[in-house]
Structure 1
Amino acid sequence: MTIRSDRAGTESAGVGTADGAVGRTGVPRAREGYGGAPADLSAEQLLHGYATGELSPVEAAESVLERIEQDNPALNAFCLVRPEEALEAARASAERWRRGAPEGLLDGVPASIKDIHLTKGWPTLKGSLNTPQDCPWEEDSPVTARLREQGAVLVGKTTTPELAWKGVTDSPLYGITRNPWDLSTTPGGSSGGAAAAVAAGMAPLATGTDGGGSIRIPASFTGVCGIKPTWGLVPHYPASPFGSLAHTGPMTRTVGDLALMLEVVSGFDPRDWMAMPTPAPGLGDVRLHHDPEALVRGMRIAYSPTLGGQEVDPEVARVVADAATVLEALGAHVEEADPGLPECRRDFEVLWNSGAAKATEHLDDRQRELLDPGLREVIEDGLAFSAQDYLTAMATRMDMGKRMGLFHTTYDLLLTPAMPMTAFEAGQESPPRLAGQRWTSWAGFSYPFNMTQQPAASVPCGFSEGGLPIGLQVVGPRHSDARVLAACRAFELARPWADRRP
């Protein structure tokens, strides 16, 4: 069945077209020649500039730090910035490039770390008043360590809701984080600080975590790229209290950078007892491809506009439907089809809220009073579940995994809206029509794929008439991360977005 939509309505909302917008290398022409601020360049563009001598890692670090100083007071994307350390690392990188001996795939590229991932020498407070601040902080999480090993310049840590428990970003410790496209709105969460930082040019690379949509929600709301990889592909340490729902992944401005960063951070770490033994294959091929048709030609792609009947804002529905036609025009076989997943919100909440209860079981009554009030309610809910409730929820996961496995014997990929709406008021857990309900009431396109552990990405596919970003979700079977990113890359080449900035 051919997908049809109001293409004219989408383009009037500000989506770019492929005609004349992309240069020979796939880089938007407006950025070629490095005429803009280095803070506005992708990691791939920065690396090319370092290699040719047109740019220096010190220039990039200075530009990013200037952007943070300028915009972070309004956005609250960073909870910690270490300019002296960043500049020292950038100077060391510049010397390596001068000698023609870069240290790794990301040498000199600025990056931020979500305040969930351990960072040696820096506090990791997780947005909580209850996290001790006088710890020695002697260890890097695997994702932090990989970035260091490959020469990335770490500039600081990004904000998260307390313990990364919800789909928006505000916390008792750091307050409200805001969306650079409209400061009255949320960037989403829980990787909202990371997404806002990338969107605003505060570093082209950011680490995120995703236990129920925490990479894809803010990617959709802020117009950046993010992928929740196949579970276990990127090692996760310390182990999350949310168990095998919790994924670590990259957030970037472009799909090329997304593939590059995932290539760096994936692979085995002995501290994660369930980490996969090898990095994801094929990611280098994805980012080096500049022919969108070759990336998706012949793919069998299902498009589910509501994923089982969810309510979607008409403007979002129209833009996402148009995005599906783009992949069809590139040679993919796209048809409307739904995988028929069961209603799983309560099963997800059994697992999620139990994890929140486990994460806070050591707190005394005084400390519990310091928690985010919504988190306290979630914890109380989690404490009421039995082992049988937990096992029933796990049985639902196994059934969903089987259904999606069989679905992907017919379809290589699944397309859906990343979010059913655009960003709503900052400081609220849910939009006005769902006031008083938990974040799970509006995140039904994201958390099912945490249940099934599949790779799922959000890429910008257009804007609302009010100028807010809209995301397209691309889901693949387990271990098909390169395939997911190939479709995202094809869409990026056909409809470039990186030059449209807040």
Structure 2
Amino acid sequence: MRDLVELTAAELLEGYAAGSFTPVDATESALRRIDECDGDLNAFVLVDRESAISSAEASAARWKAGETLGIGDGVPTSIKDMFITAGWPTLRGSTLIDDAGPWDADAPCVARLRETGAVLLGKVTTPEFAWKGTTDSERYGATGNPWDPATTAGGSSGGSSAAVGAGMGAWSVGTDAGGSVRIPAAFTGTVALKPTFGTVPMFPASPFGTLAHAGPMTRTVADAAMLMDIVSGFDSRDWAALPTPAGSFTDGLEDGIAGLRIAYSPTLGFGENAPDIDRLVRQAVGELEAMGAVVEEVDPGFADPVEAFHVLWFTGAAKVVAAYGPEALAKVDPGLREGIEQYADATAQDYLDATAVRMELGVLMGAFHQNYDLLVTPTMPITAFDRTRQAPEGWKSDLWTSWTPYTYPFNMTQQPAASVPCGVADNGLPVGLQIVAARTQDQLVLRAARAYEKASGEKFSRPVSVPAGQGTA
């Protein structure tokens, strides 16, 4: 039998139902995997073994009695340390936050996971206030990649992707305000969905406002759809929360993509890819066409909105840091401080101008999707790089947006976007395919991601063993 840490959430649930093993077995396996791997990966900031085993025992009793709470009952799960979690500190990778608490409330997604009986293993890493595309902080150090712990797991949900990719829990929940579930998914060969804004409610509100989404991080598309069924749904604490979906995100998952109109944009008109990434993504697009999709290579027709994104991003970050007092800025991540200082003179007019760029982009993409059901791009133009760096060696800029051109535009438009593994680059590291649809068309994104995953044989989405002694926490 395969090691339990290699099983997906769906496979674990099948095993529980058949009596092949129990949630206690799966949880103990996940905890052992954390002991084996996390010294190299540095994905967890907190592991609560006693609570996890207790939860698993309660789940095992429910399975035995035929009284399970929901589709996540007994699944070992990690939580990004941006989500408040009752009983555990939420320190957001920052030395500014006192761990004394009180920690007496759950974020909506955490509450929903508890209600379904998921086994919460602990909290996983984030850069300070989730501000960038790598996962390192002065509080916790750098998080490594299961494929090569000396390289970054991406960010800002790098702890989630490293945990899931290495089998330290079947799934996790991350945040994405500029690419933060999709970047690490691409770097670690895992699956992630940034849902339509408001589909997964958030509380407290993100400092990055209406750029910020919460979404599933898993090893398969089916698991992502199942986790969406758990964490989506109306919560009155989120003023922008959408109504609870009427159906399941698994509905139509196996329907294929024959006849769908797909626009393939290799660079969005302004990016530049490593040659092997361009080759692998083109091959993946060819597979989509072979499955019956009608594919056209076309750019959406917008210029890089990065400057408008920066205004929205760093003014939000400044507000967060200012809440910790006048001396706080001197104590944060130097890159975060530099960005805040660069936009310190931004005016209300600058913010409104950036918002206008965002609205124009949304209108353009709305019209684009009248002609195309889906837009496909690379998730990232590069593979993972040295975990101690903020950008690849010799790159034009250390700022994370300089190497993530295909992710942040779709936070500005609030569209659903997924990353699914599409191959291994010449350096032996994973590559991601990004699939984007019009707002509220999350099921269509998952359906296309599943079709590609199925055609590719799901060979890129399994956890990878971590070589002993590699990487530095």
TM interval, short-chain normalised: over 0.9
Q: CA deviation at 1:101?
A: 1.1
Paired with 1:344 and 1:433, the residues of 2 have a C-alpha distance of: 24
Matched residue, 1:20: none
Tell me how large the CA RMSD over aligned residues is.
1.1
Paired with 1:160 and 1:426, the residues of 2 have a C-alpha distance of: 13
Matched residue, 1:157: 123
Q: CA deviation at 1:429?
A: 1.3
Q: Is the 8 A contact 1:216 1:227 kept in 2?
A: yes
Q: Is the 8 A contact 2:92 2:128 kept in 1?
A: yes
Q: CA deviation at 1:436?
A: 4.2
Paired with 1:114 and 1:349, the residues of 2 have a C-alpha distance of: 24
Matched residue, 2:470: none
Match of 1:123 among 82, 89, 95: 89
Please, which moves more after superposition, 346-355 or 378-387?
Answer: 378-387
Are 1:453 and 2:419 matched, yes or no?
A: no
Are 1:463 and 2:424 matched, yes or no?
A: yes
Matched residue, 1:346: 307
Paired with 1:376 and 1:339, the residues of 2 have a C-alpha distance of: 34
Q: CA deviation at 1:500?
A: 6.3
Give the 3-state SS of the residue equivalent to 1:320 in structure 2.
Answer: helix
Paired with 1:161 and 1:171, the residues of 2 have a C-alpha distance of: 5
What per-residue deviation string (whole Å, max 9, x for no partner) do you get for residues 163-200 of structure 1? Answer: 00000000010001111111221111000010000000
Q: CA deviation at 1:329?
A: 0.7
Q: CA deviation at 1:435?
A: 5.3
Match of 1:304 among 220, 241, 265: 265
Give the 3-state SS of the residue equivalent to 2:152 in structure 1.
Answer: coil
Q: CA deviation at 1:434?
A: 1.9
Paired with 1:201 and 1:411, the residues of 2 have a C-alpha distance of: 36
Q: Which amino acid aligns with 2:446?
A: L
Paired with 1:413 and 1:94, the residues of 2 have a C-alpha distance of: 41
What per-residue deviation string (whole Å, max 9, x for no partner) do you get for residues 308-360 of structure 1? Answer: 13110000000000000111111111111110112211000000000000111
Are 1:272 and 2:238 matched, yes or no?
A: yes
Match of 1:234 among 177, 183, 200: 200
Gaps of 5+ in 1: 1-34
Paired with 2:111 and 2:48, the residues of 1 have a C-alpha distance of: 17
Paired with 2:12 and 2:334, the residues of 1 have a C-alpha distance of: 43
What per-residue deviation string (whole Å, max 9, x for no partner) do you get for residues 207-250 of structure 1? Answer: 10000000000000000000100000000110011100000001
**What pairs with 1:340-419 in structure 2 (closer than 5 Å)?**
340-419=301-380
Q: CA deviation at 1:364?
A: 3.3
Matched residue, 2:451: 490
Give the 3-state SS of the residue equivalent to 2:420 in structure 1.
Answer: strand
Q: Is the 8 A contact 2:73 2:117 kept in 1?
A: yes
**What pairs with 1:61-460 in structure 2 (closer than 5 Å)?**
61-279=27-245, 281-287=247-253, 289=254, 294-434=255-395, 436-460=397-421
Matched residue, 1:30: none
Please, which moves more after superposition, 411-420 or 271-280?
Answer: 271-280
Paired with 2:407 and 2:354, the residues of 1 have a C-alpha distance of: 17
Q: Which amino acid aligns with 2:126?
A: T
Please, which moves more after superposition, 300-309 or 476-485?
Answer: 300-309
Q: Is the 8 A contact 2:219 2:462 kept in 1?
A: no
Gaps of 5+ in 2: 466-473
Over 3 Å counting, the alpha-carbon distance change for 1:280 and 1:460 in structure 2 is farther
Please, which moves more after superposition, 338-347 or 207-216?
Answer: 338-347
Please, which moves more after superposition, 294-303 or 454-463?
Answer: 294-303
The count of residues paired between Structure 1 and Structure 2 equals 463
Q: Which amino acid aligns with 1:67?
A: R
Q: Is the 8 A contact 2:322 2:328 kept in 1?
A: no
What per-residue deviation string (whole Å, max 9, x for no partner) do you get for residues 145-165 of structure 1? Answer: 111111100000000000000
Q: CA deviation at 1:432?
A: 1.7
Q: Is the 8 A contact 2:378 2:432 kept in 1?
A: yes
Normalised by the length of structure 1, the TM-score is 0.91
Q: Is the 8 A contact 2:72 2:116 kept in 1?
A: yes
Q: CA deviation at 1:285?
A: 1.7
Paired with 1:184 and 1:91, the residues of 2 have a C-alpha distance of: 36
Matched residue, 1:12: none
What per-residue deviation string (whole Å, max 9, x for no partner) do you get for residues 66-101 of structure 1? Answer: 000110011000010001100000000000000111
Q: Is the 8 A contact 2:167 2:463 kept in 1?
A: no
Give the 3-state SS of the residue equivalent to 1:369 in structure 2.
Answer: helix
Give the 3-state SS of the residue equivalent to 1:156 in structure 2.
Answer: strand
Q: CA deviation at 1:136?
A: 1.4
What per-residue deviation string (whole Å, max 9, x for no partner) do you get for residues 371-418 of structure 1? Answer: 111111112123210000000000001100010000000000000000
Q: Which amino acid aligns with 1:43?
A: A
Give the 3-state SS of the residue equivalent to 1:207 in structure 2.
Answer: strand
Are 1:473 and 2:434 matched, yes or no?
A: yes
Give the 3-state SS of the residue equivalent to 2:322 in structure 1.
Answer: coil
Matched residue, 1:14: none
Q: CA deviation at 1:444?
A: 0.8
Paired with 1:155 and 1:247, the residues of 2 have a C-alpha distance of: 23
What per-residue deviation string (whole Å, max 9, x for no partner) do you get for residues 433-472 of structure 1? Answer: 3254311111110000001000000000000122100000
Give the 3-state SS of the residue equivalent to 1:227 in structure 2.
Answer: strand
Are 1:501 and 2:464 matched, yes or no?
A: yes
Are 1:44 and 2:10 matched, yes or no?
A: yes
Paired with 2:141 and 2:246, the residues of 1 have a C-alpha distance of: 36
Q: Is the 8 A contact 1:281 1:482 kept in 2?
A: no
Q: Which amino acid aligns with 2:32?
A: E
Paired with 2:91 and 2:248, the residues of 1 have a C-alpha distance of: 35
Are 1:54 and 2:54 matched, yes or no?
A: no
Paired with 2:396 and 2:387, the residues of 1 have a C-alpha distance of: 13
